[in-house]
Structure 1
Amino acid sequence: MAGYFNNTFPKIREEMLNSNFWIENLNLNLNEIASLNEILEFNKKNIEYGYIRDIFNTKNYDKYYVDKIIKSISKKHEEKRYVNGRQIEEDYFENLEGDLNLSNIKNISQYGMCIRRTIIKSYPTEDRIFKNCDDYSLDRFMESAINVCEPCTVLHESLDGKWMFIETYNCMGWVKKEYVAIGKKDEIEDYCNSKDFIIVTGKRITTGYNPLEKRVSLISIDMGVKMKLLRNKETIYDMDTTTGYVALFPIKSELDQSLEFKEIVIPRSEDVSVGFLPYNSQNIIKQAFKCLGERYGWGGEFFARDCSSFVLDVLKTMGVYIPRNTGEQENRSFGEALSLENREFEDKKKILDSALPSSILYMNGHVMIYLGKYENEYYIIHDTVGFYISRICDKKEGDLKYIKANGVTISPMSITYTTDGENYIRKIKTIKIFK
């Protein structure tokens, strides 16, 4: 039924909002970008060079090193900041620094697993601070988010004992203690490295309602999360398993709050895959479009993603692990990269003409997935706060209309401009394929 497509800018048609439009019109084949063995080697190289971490093979940090890395994350902001609409006073960060509890760092690292998706912050506080008094969406204490079933190293606790300083494969920071269960290293490593697993390929799924075990009932699980699979289980709680997958799910023991695993049934109707998806252009674009319209979440706030976590969650479904932030993805990860810096506008267009759809595009502070060229226009899908649209294709002329996207959207690059008035094609620095 026509009439329900609310289009706010030119060169976008309703049929373009479906991944099949791009796959069919660009004649994308199923050729692998890399095999699973090649992906494993790629991940291994990123670990060896320190671009991401294998937390199970890191050393037991001494207290001096832990003190150093906490201070590298929990740093006083020199710029004006606002909390609850009021400008932060001079002693604000001094009070927060006391909560870091640096005088009580132990020479002990513990291993944990996240039992709920939660945010990682640069200070152990629920305060949200902003650049402007009327902002509500870009909390400057946000570092990232950690998904359920994700392992971490626990290095320290806050003064009040309510926060933990953790290290994940691509991030460090403070999380609420209630969302992390401490467990045995061997048990967590066995879970994470199991060859029998399902991976969430939908934007997110939800565990079913469980009237017998509320700790595994109605829990959201994000794209890219792996869960260990079990075999030969006929009944879980009061449910037959014929129509589902039996997976292990992390919870906290009621006895001592330590990590334990409960069996759950994931219906086969859920958007999951047994093992990783094949790493090809079709799957990158399909996975990206599953997030179309999802709200933007700076650092992973609002139970959402930002531009860089959008890209890394898509790639995780294929087993590709990359750094957390845009600049690190561009400059501190292996991959086939082509620099477009200092190239003229027309040269950049020629390079895009031959670029593989599903390539990753980088500009300062932003990352996008390239959809390809269609009807002499270059398109991307990206997770963004907003951008400007011009009626003039490749010149900064006429009125620029601001699109407050606040989510995953597609954009025609030749008429899309950054907030500083630069055209997207002109601003591209790097085209990259992670392999």
Structure 2
Amino acid sequence: MFINLKNFFILIFFANLSYAEIIDISSLNHYIYTHIEYSADLEHFPTNTEKDIKKRLIEKELFDPKIKFIDNQPIISTIIENLLQNRNLSGITAVNNFGFTKKRSNIKMFPTNATLTYKPDDKIDRNQYSLIEPFEPVIILHTSKDGEWFFIQTFFTRGWINKNDLTNVSYDNFRRYFNTKKIVIVRDRVKIGDLIFGAGSRIPIEEEDEQYYTIIKPDSKLIKLKKDNDISIFPVVYNYEIAKKFLDSLLDQPYDWGGKKGYRDCSSLVMDLFRIFGVDLPRNSKQQAEVGEIIWERGDKKSFFIALDKAEPFCTFIHMKGHIIIYGGKDKDDYLIYHAVERFGNILYNKVVKQHIISDNTNLWSKAYRITTICRSKEKRYD
């Protein structure tokens, strides 16, 4: 599979580009939508989906037998059965509905706000899939038995969201969103009106003048927003200095599995960064390892650093099992990396960190299994 993936990007992803282009957003997103499970092209999503397909999507997420606690109390079989019954499999219809998120919201594995953990007071909630930003378009595939939850498809995942966090819109209004000029948030946690928007959030523009944008909020109300460094016209043209500035601004933010507290884990750090530039990367690190050109795979220490010497900083990723790291370029005789990490080696970090591969004794070359890039190589750009 990975040989074919590499050939795909050599022949298509990097083909027919002007030398000024660093990321071919259109081709990259098309590849993600059509090849990476859980990702979807929402703009062209159908108005109907076969009931059997929906059922398979919902049932795909099995109850993890290692989950032993619900809200720090021992979980019993009747509780598990009630969670599964609330998925309402007998009530599935073929009709799809469309909507937008009203605010920053959580996407869940099951239709409940309950915390599901392996052990008491566990920091990792296995019911938490991901954070989703305000004004994100979603496909509403199904409704829970209690009527309180929607099973949705986003551009990067599927899962359950509280119905009160969404506003339903017509298909025509939903499609119109994709062809509307937008701003994008380029700094983390920007407050606009009564809402918090994370980096990469995209908000439609009603009109603009030299000093202000008039934007449309998820409730359809208009708000006048002064132009400043926190926002830009979507998408921002990729530049490694912009990427570096963004990542440096997040250093020491808490590590946050699934974004439950509004921060980031390793893969959401990567996803949010490249949403600024219009790239809809998948959500988890395993899926992200399937995107881009493979420039190194399971080699020795020497070949690892040869690959990094040739790689573009900030759009090159180092992959470990269950973890993704952003390569930040050379620093004299060393190499910089950025990642949101709970524990690395024997050190507990629980935050976003910047490190040196060699001087910080990461031994990264022995732990990594792949290096990928979503940027065109230097040879491609400057030959």
Query: Shorter-chain TM-score: which interval?
Result: 0.7 to 0.9
| Aligned counterpart in structure 1 of residue 95 of structure 2, from 92, 98, 108 | 108
Asked if structure 1 preserves the Cα contact closer than 8 Å seen for 2:296 and 2:304, the reply is no
Residue 69, structure 1, aligned to residue 26, structure 2: no
Structure 1 residue 353, shift from structure 2 partner = 2.9
Instruction: Provide Cα deviations, 1:184-220, integer angstroms capped at 9, x if missing partner.
Output: 12212212332x221100112111xxxxxxxxx3210
Distance 2:82 2:35 in 1: 37
Structure 1 residue 50, shift from structure 2 partner = 5.0
Distance 1:309 1:50 in 2: 16
Residue 173, structure 1, aligned to residue 141, structure 2: no
In the TM superposition, what are the counterparts of 1:152-231 in structure 2 within 5 Å? 152-194=138-180, 196-207=181-192, 217-231=193-207
Give aligned-pair identity as a percent.
Answer: 27
Asked if structure 2 preserves the Cα contact closer than 8 Å seen for 1:32 and 1:278, the reply is no
The one-letter code matched in structure 2 to 1:174 is: W
Asked if structure 1 preserves the Cα contact closer than 8 Å seen for 2:95 and 2:141, the reply is yes
Give the alignment's Cα RMSD to 1 decimal: 2.1
| Residue 32 (structure 2) aligns with | 46
Residue 433, structure 1, aligned to residue 373, structure 2: yes
Asked if structure 2 preserves the Cα contact closer than 8 Å seen for 1:348 and 1:426, the reply is no
The one-letter code matched in structure 1 to 2:216 is: L
Distance 2:276 2:67 in 1: 39
Instruction: Provide Cα deviations, 1:111-131, integer angstroms capped at 9, x if missing partner.
Output: 011110111011011111122
| Residue 356 (structure 1) aligns with | 312
Asked if structure 2 preserves the Cα contact closer than 8 Å seen for 1:33 and 1:281, the reply is no
| Aligned counterpart in structure 2 of residue 405 of structure 1, from 335, 349, 353 | 349
Asked if structure 2 preserves the Cα contact closer than 8 Å seen for 1:312 and 1:321, the reply is yes
The secondary structure found in structure 2 opposite 1:372 is: strand
The one-letter code matched in structure 1 to 2:161 is: V
TM-score, normalised relative to structure 1: 0.76
Aligned residues: 354
The secondary structure found in structure 2 opposite 1:383 is: strand
| Residue 108 (structure 2) aligns with | 121
The secondary structure found in structure 2 opposite 1:229 is: strand
Worse overlay, 373-382 or 317-326:
373-382
Alpha carbons of structure 1 residues 275 and 57: separation in structure 2 relative to 1, 3 Å: closer
Distance 1:172 1:306 in 2: 18
Distance 1:384 1:352 in 2: 21
TM-score, normalised relative to structure 2: 0.86
User: Which structure has the greater CA radius of gyration?
Assistant: 1
The secondary structure found in structure 2 opposite 1:385 is: strand
Distance 1:218 1:160 in 2: 29
Residue 34, structure 1, aligned to residue 2, structure 2: no
The one-letter code matched in structure 2 to 1:121 is: K
Gaps of 5+ in 1: 1-30, 208-216, 233-240, 252-260, 389-399
| Residue 379 (structure 2) aligns with | none
| Aligned counterpart in structure 1 of residue 269 of structure 2, from 310, 315, 329 | 310
Asked if structure 1 preserves the Cα contact closer than 8 Å seen for 2:43 and 2:178, the reply is no
Distance 2:318 2:21 in 1: 16
Structure 1 residue 242, shift from structure 2 partner = 6.6
In the TM superposition, what are the counterparts of 1:312-331 in structure 2 within 5 Å? 312-331=271-290
The one-letter code matched in structure 2 to 1:311 is: V
Distance 2:207 2:329 in 1: 42
Alpha carbons of structure 1 residues 410 and 77: separation in structure 2 relative to 1, 3 Å: same
The secondary structure found in structure 2 opposite 1:347 is: helix
Asked if structure 2 preserves the Cα contact closer than 8 Å seen for 1:47 and 1:54, the reply is yes
The one-letter code matched in structure 1 to 2:183 is: I
Asked if structure 1 preserves the Cα contact closer than 8 Å seen for 2:317 and 2:327, the reply is yes
Distance 1:124 1:230 in 2: 35
Structure 1 residue 100, shift from structure 2 partner = 1.0
Distance 1:361 1:118 in 2: 29
Structure 1 residue 89, shift from structure 2 partner = 2.2
In the TM superposition, what are the counterparts of 1:9-20 in structure 2 within 5 Å? none
Asked if structure 2 preserves the Cα contact closer than 8 Å seen for 1:111 and 1:152, the reply is yes
Distance 2:67 2:188 in 1: 36
